[in-house]
Structure 1
């Protein structure tokens, strides 16, 4: 199935990309169902490089790795290379970099005036919302002993949990939480732990049987986009779209 992967993609005429939502990496307009985000654009441009169309396949963070393994999609977008995932699939060069941060309501009486470390939120009366199956889920589970962890299926659910105060804190990617803060500056505050929590590259996930030459072609494409400044441009454009969608 995976021998000469890009040749097979060219024969089919489409590059299938697994899409689990996480702004600004992968976003979906609820009115038009159109995808955006800088990983979406990277997938589209790599499809152009191969001379095919990009197709986006809906999934979630609990199932995105399994879809790579089964061949439901050729690339999984915006994956962190955790030890568990690395045993199941291969990874490209990082497109961008990631760490976990925590967003909270500054008027929450259960939290100190200034949350500065994990100890401030690792309390039995604090509930932390996180997307199930994500890197931040595993990082929070491994780092906090006392707080309650509310695992929810998607980004909208975790944000609504904090906005409605069903949860006290939102654990998410640093740039994702920063975007949410920019859209809600009147009440939200972001705390990024020192040292960084779960610092990792964010890459494409690939089936382990994909030939090394095909992975190298993808890596060279990514490196060229990073070094040319194209990735930074994509990130800035995706950030603007994400903020507009939150307004």
Structure 2
């Protein structure tokens, strides 16, 4: 499946050689503070803010899916030998909940210098940048290209999920358009579909999937690029280096083997199948 998301190994591969033994022998290295507490509790709690395809939640069953969910569950069960528990939250509360001990790991957080002052990041599981979705028939963008200035105009409304990296990036870059901050991806998509918003600013892989499933939607990768960052798990700032190295080794191994790409494909297929069934 063609995807716009870049999945270069980046800095993560550097951890593979040095730390791979930690994954292969997890029990021998699980005696430090963070993982020791998790193993004593018998459960790894993962903060879950919904944004497909990273984290998804079935409203009927309450079951979580998505490739960060798969990674959290696999790391819990195969490495730490505990169960995974997903704690419903919003993007605005991901860091605060981590700091207050409501969950052990926050899923799918973009690495930013500001967040790095408050939390510890794993190596990236994948890479991110903000893209724009528009209705291809919107007359406001008849001559628009991929220049951000083509969409930053008076009379244009841009929907964005409050508290996300996209929110921060767009807020810093937009000078003339109106921002519509909404709590989740369902709300931002509905705003675009109902034409209450002219543009949806979100993660490029999320927007790419939506554009694939909706012929009227056009995806734009703006120039200059917005918020090109790694997407990682976040842990408490006090997490011991040995514990973080164990998680890094796990992610580096799975990324180098192509397994994370396969999980992205799985989540993508789930989303498209669900949209076709509606």
Fold match, TM over 0.5? yes
- Shorter-chain TM-score range: over 0.9
- Deviation of 1:164 (Å): 0.3
Residue in structure 1 matching 2:229, options 200, 209, 227: 200
C-alpha separation in 2, matches of 1:162 and 1:5: 42
Q: Does 1:57 align with 2:87?
A: yes
Deviation at 1:114, TM superposition (A): 4.1
Whether contact under 8 Å (1:115, 1:121) holds in the other structure is no
Q: Where is the helix percentage greater, Structure 1 or Structure 2?
A: 2
Shift of 1:238: 0.8
Question: Aligned partners of 2:273, 2:102: CA distance in 1, in Å?
Answer: 32
Which of 193, 214, 219 is matched with 2:248 structurally? 219
- Which 4+ residue blocks in structure 1 deviate beyond 6 angstroms? none
1:13 matched to 2:42? The reply is yes
Other-structure match for 2:99: 69
Aligned twin of 2:257: 228
**Distance in 1 between residues matched to 2:210 and 2:67, nearest whole Å:** 17
* Pairwise CA distance, 1:243: 1.7
Work out the CA distance in 1 between the residues paired with 2:169 and 2:188.
16
**1:78 maps to what in 2?**
108
Q: Tell me how many residue pairs correspond in the alignment.
A: 244
What's the counterpart of residue 192 of structure 2? 162
Contact 2:45–2:103 at 8 Å: present in 1 too?
A: yes
Q: In the TM superposition, what whole-angstrom CA distance separates every residue of 1:54-87 from its partner, at most 9, and x where no partner exists?
A: 0000000110110111111010000001122111
Q: Which shifted more, 72-81 or 189-198? A: 189-198
TM-score, length of structure 1 as denominator length = 0.96
Aligned to 1:118: 148
Inter-partner Cα distance in structure 1 for 2:116 and 2:268? 28
Secondary structure in 2 matching 1:166: coil
- Where in structure 1 are there 5+ consecutive unaligned residues? none
Which secondary structure does the structure 2 equivalent of 1:72 belong to? coil
1:38 aligns to 2:67 (yes or no): yes
CA distance in 1, matches of 2:112, 2:275: 29
- CA separation in 2, counterparts of 1:158 and 1:42? 26
What's the C-alpha RMSD, in Å, of the aligned pairs? Answer: 1.0
Partner deviation per Cα, 1:1-49 (whole Å, 9 max, x = no partner): xx61101111111000000001100001122211110000000010011
Provide the secondary structure at the position in 1 that maps to 2:132.
Answer: strand
